[in-house]
Amino acid sequence: MAPPQQARVLRCCHCLLFQAHQVKKSLKWTCKACGEKQSFFRAYGEGSGADCRRHVQKLNLLQGQISELSLRYTRSPKDYTLRVQMK
C-alpha cells in the first residue's frame, strides 16, 4: 500500500491567503485563489491533507479577525460620532 499523500500549508505572497498544496519535488506552485505563480518560500505546516486543511482554516480565520480588528481601530473619530434623529 502506498504511503498517504503529504501536504504543505503555504501562503500566497500576492493575496496573502493560506492554502494547502500537495508536497512535490518542484519548488514552484500556483495560488488557487488568485492564480499567482510563485516559488516555495516557507511552509506554515506539513502533514496529511485533512490536517493541513484544518490548519489553513484556522490560519485564515485568525488572519481575518486580526485584519477586522485593525480596521475597526484605524477608523477616524468621525465614524464614532453619535447621530441623534430629531422627530
Alpha helices in the chain (DSSP H): 49-74
Q: Give the C-alpha distances (Å, rounded to integers) separating 17 from 33, 56, 65, 80.
A: 8, 9, 13, 31
pTM of the model: 0.76
17-33 tens-digit pLDDT: 999 999 999 999 999 99
What are the structural domain ranges in the chain? 6-64
How many CA atoms does the CB half-sphere of 16 hold within 13 Å? 6
Asked if the model's pLDDT at residue 84 lies above 60, the reply is: no
34-58 tens-digit pLDDT: 999 999 999 999 999 999 999 999 9
d(CA 55, CA 85) in angstroms, rounded, equals 47
Cell of 73: 481601530
Closest CA to 71 of 79, 60, 83: 79
